[in-house]
């Protein structure tokens, strides 16, 4: 094989910890891995779809309080918006999607996806006052067997606020400064950033656990990137072009 799994997983860890593609390339060269920054990007693209498919088949044991929020990102110099649904207690990022605007966006798809992944509806949903959330809440979270409370009158301070989600968005914005904008609305950066947040990065507020670990998902081994990719391979039901991307593992 041309490159070993250690080089690939190290590249992903370096890049999603905050290094640029070129800085990641140079860091790997210090340990004898001679590659181009384009190769780093190719690895990210190659393994992203596999990890996403595997991660979304896992049902997290999230709490009954969820939060939704949106933030802008720059894609080809145009502003787009990432809508995200996150567990309030353990900060597990349940679902996300990209929209062209905030006002015309239908958040029902986001909430529906969250229900499928979590296998339930929350008791409480906290959002800002965006009309899209209210409409989607009525469609997806008002069901015959359960009444979900929607808290939408939030502020920056006080008892009811969305600070946890804002801190999470702040982490993502810091990462964007290195990436200098996205080139496509389908960029794997959004997907792998979600995986990095849920499965790789430990959180001090969770006693050093990842959100995945806090909700009962165990990714064994010190090299969690490698474990995720290997697990994705095991969960493939048939040979596909994407599966061939795992030959190094």
Q: Are residues 40 and 123 in the same domain?
A: no
Whether residue 145 is predicted with pLDDT greater than 70 in this model: the reply is yes
The number of distinct structural domains making up the chain is 2
Q: Are residues 137 and 174 in the same domain?
A: yes
Residue 196 lies in a domain: no
Higher pLDDT, 83 or 189: 83
Mean of pLDDT values over 14-36? 87
Q: Are residues 72 and 108 in the same domain?
A: yes
Question: Which pLDDT band, with edges at 50, 70 and 90, does 239 fall under?
Answer: very low
Smallest Cα–Cα separation from 45: which of 180, 160, 183, 141?
183
Q: Are residues 81 and 128 in the same domain?
A: yes
Write down the pLDDT at residue 211. Answer: 92
Write down the pLDDT at residue 191. Answer: 77
Mean of pLDDT values over 221-246? 67
Mean of pLDDT values over 39-68? 86
Parent domain of 134: 65-185
Mean of pLDDT values over 205-230? 86
Task: Report pLDDT digits (tens) over 28-47.
Answer: 998 888 899 899 888 888 88
Is the pTM higher than 0.95? The answer reads: no
Task: Report pLDDT digits (tens) over 149-187.
Answer: 998 865 555 455 556 666 666 666 666 555 554 555 566
Residue 212 lies in a domain: no
Q: Are residues 74 and 163 in the same domain?
A: yes
Residue 170 lies in a domain: yes
Mean of pLDDT values over 201-228? 86
Residue 214 lies in a domain: no
Q: Are residues 97 and 15 in the same domain?
A: no
Q: Are residues 53 and 157 in the same domain?
A: no
Residue 106 lies in a domain: yes
Which residues touch 46 (CB under 8 Å, ≥6 apart)?
A: 245
**Which CATH number fits the domain that encloses residue 86?**
3.30.420.10
Q: Are residues 172 and 241 in the same domain?
A: no
């Amino acid at each position: 094989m041309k490159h070993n799994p250690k080089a690939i997983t190290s590249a992903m860890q370096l890049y999603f910890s905050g290094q640029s593609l070129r800085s990641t390339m140079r860091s790997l060269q210090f340990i004898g891995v001679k590659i181009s920054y384009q190769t780093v990007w190719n690895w990210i693209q190659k393994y992203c779809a596999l990890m996403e498919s595997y991660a979304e088949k896992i049902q997290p044991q999230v709490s009954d309080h969820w939060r939704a929020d949106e933030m802008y990102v720059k894609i080809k110099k145009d502003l787009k918006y990432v809508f995200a649904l996150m567990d309030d207690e353990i900060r597990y990022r349940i679902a996300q999607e990209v929209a062209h605007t905030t006002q015309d966006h239908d958040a029902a798809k986001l909430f529906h996806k969250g229900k499928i992944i979590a296998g339930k509806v929350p008791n409480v949903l906290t959002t800002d006052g965006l009309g899209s959330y209210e409409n989607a809440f009525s469609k997806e979270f008002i069901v015959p067997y359960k009444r979900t409370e929607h808290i939408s009158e939030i502020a920056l301070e006080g008892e009811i606020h969305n600070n946890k989600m804002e801190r999470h968005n702040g982490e993502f914005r810091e990462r964007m400064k290195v990436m200098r904008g996205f080139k496509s609305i389908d960029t794997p950066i959004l997907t792998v950033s979600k995986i990095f947040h849920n499965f790789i990065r430990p959180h001090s507020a969770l006693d050093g656990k990842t959100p995945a670990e806090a909700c009962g998902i165990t990714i064994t081994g010190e090299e969690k990137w490698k474990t995720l990719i290997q697990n994705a391979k095991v969960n493939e039901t048939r040979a596909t072009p994407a599966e061939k991307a795992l030959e190094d593992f």
